[in-house]
């Protein structure tokens, strides 16, 4: 169904320019995004995967009601914490939102720190194969016989090779076997089909800016943010989310800030340890984000260093991606 939504969206024609602003958690995206949107008559499309959820406000550093009033926001607060979200669904929703914004003559500013969702604006991120229960069960039959049996079946279906698949990793073998069974294609054919995928987001002209800060300065901002979150009532927010079914959604309940607070509420450690655990895991996330933005996004665009309180000129933020 979600794939059909994306196809319907793509049939609406090409999209105009999209401006993408990202960077590590706590780098300072919100204020710059709001300033740029106000100056350039833009509306903001969120690509932070945790801002989709209602009532997940404090732990996500979601823009406040006052901040959101400064410019229209899209794809924020539209699903329950118990509801699962994936990038395929996001692509369809983003295309719809962008098409609506541009039809009203407004610019589009995409912002958020979820690298995988941001990458969807530049290249394919999922292959579109939806594995049925029947195909999953068929793959399970081989997996239950052992990894060697599953790999043997996978090789039978892929006489030209396994495309670099780690044949000693049971999870990857199982997923590869499921996809081959479902599609009737080899891994090579699936790879070619994946690389040929396109949609209105990928084809649209794009401008990109990644915000950066010195590591020590970013770590200090992370520590300050965590303290403010706890003062603002993060523990009470999470207690309320437990009643809204957050634990049924792995993406939401395992998000940094929520995972640690749930553990605290379950008695794993006291409040004194909670702040440092969240800060430590946030610093690790920032390190992964820096690597992702460096290796997974197109070469080009602009990188702006905000260290020592540098405030960039709003008219000079973006460079076009060829």
Question: Tens digit of pLDDT per residue, the chain (322 long)?
Answer: 344 444 444 557 899 999 999 999 999 999 999 999 999 999 999 999 999 999 999 999 999 999 999 999 999 999 999 999 999 999 999 999 999 999 999 999 999 999 999 999 999 998 878 899 999 999 999 999 999 999 999 999 999 999 999 999 999 999 999 999 999 999 999 999 999 999 999 999 999 999 999 999 999 999 999 999 999 999 999 999 999 999 999 999 999 999 999 999 999 999 989 999 999 999 999 999 999 999 999 888 899 999 998 988 888 899 888 6
* Token pair of 69 as six digits: 């009033």
> β-strands 319-321, 18-23: how paired?
unpaired
Does the domain formed by 2-126+199-321 have CATH 3.40.50.300? Answer: yes
d(CA 48, CA 90): 11
H or E stretch covering 225: helix 215-232
pLDDT at 13 (0 to 100): 82
pLDDT at 281 (0 to 100): 98
Question: Is the whole model's pTM more than 0.95, yes or no?
Answer: no
pLDDT at 225 (0 to 100): 97
Q: What is the number of helices (H) and of strands (E) in the chain?
A: 15, 7
DSSP character at residue 269 = S
Rg (CA), the chain: 21
pLDDT at 322 (0 to 100): 60
H or E stretch covering 183: helix 170-183
Helix (H, G, I), strand (E, B) or coil at 305: strand
Residue whose C-alpha is closest to residue 91's, from 63, 126, 130, 56: 126
pLDDT at 127 (0 to 100): 82
pLDDT at 1 (0 to 100): 35
d(CA 222, CA 217): 9
> In sequence order, what E strands does the chain have?
18-23, 42-46, 73-74, 107-111, 206-212, 302-305, 319-321
């Amino acid at each position: 169904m979600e794939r059909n939504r994306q196809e319907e969206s793509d049939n609406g024609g090409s999209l105009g320019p999209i401006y993408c602003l990202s960077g590590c958690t706590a780098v300072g995206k919100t204020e710059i995004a709001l300033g740029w949107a106000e100056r350039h008559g833009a509306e903001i499309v969120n690509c932070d995967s945790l801002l989709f959820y209602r009532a997940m406000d404090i732990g996500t550093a979601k823009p406040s009601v006052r901040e959101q009033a400064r410019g229209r926001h899209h794809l924020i607060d539209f699903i329950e914490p118990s509801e699962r979200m994936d990038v395929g669904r996001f692509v369809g929703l983003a295309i719809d939102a962008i098409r609506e914004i541009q039809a009203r003559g407004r610019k589009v500013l995409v912002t958020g720190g979820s690298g995988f969702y941001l990458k969807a604006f530049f290249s394919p991120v999922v292959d579109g194969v939806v594995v049925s229960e029947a195909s999953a069960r068929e793959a399970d039959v081989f997996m239950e016989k052992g990894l060697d049996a599953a790999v043997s079946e996978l090789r039978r279906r892929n006489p030209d090779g396994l495309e670099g698949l780690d044949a000693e990793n049971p999870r990857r073998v199982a997923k590869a076997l499921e996809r081959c069974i479902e599609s009737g294609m080899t891994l090579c054919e699936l790879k070619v089909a994946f690389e040929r995928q396109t949609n209105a987001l990928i084809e649209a002209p794009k401008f990109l800016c990644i915000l950066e800060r010195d590591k020590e300065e970013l770590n200090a901002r992370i520590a300050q943010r965590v303290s403010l979150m706890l003062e603002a009532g993060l523990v009470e927010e999470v207690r309320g989310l437990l009643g809204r079914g957050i634990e049924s959604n792995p993406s939401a309940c395992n998000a940094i800030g929520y995972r640690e607070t749930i553990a605290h509420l379950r008695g794993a450690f006291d409040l004194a340890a909670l702040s440092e655990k969240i800060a430590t895991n946030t610093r690790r996330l920032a390190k992964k984000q820096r690597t992702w933005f460096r290796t997974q996004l197109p070469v080009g665009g602009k990188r702006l260093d905000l260290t020592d309180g540098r405030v960039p000129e709003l008219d000079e933020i973006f460079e076009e991606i060829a």
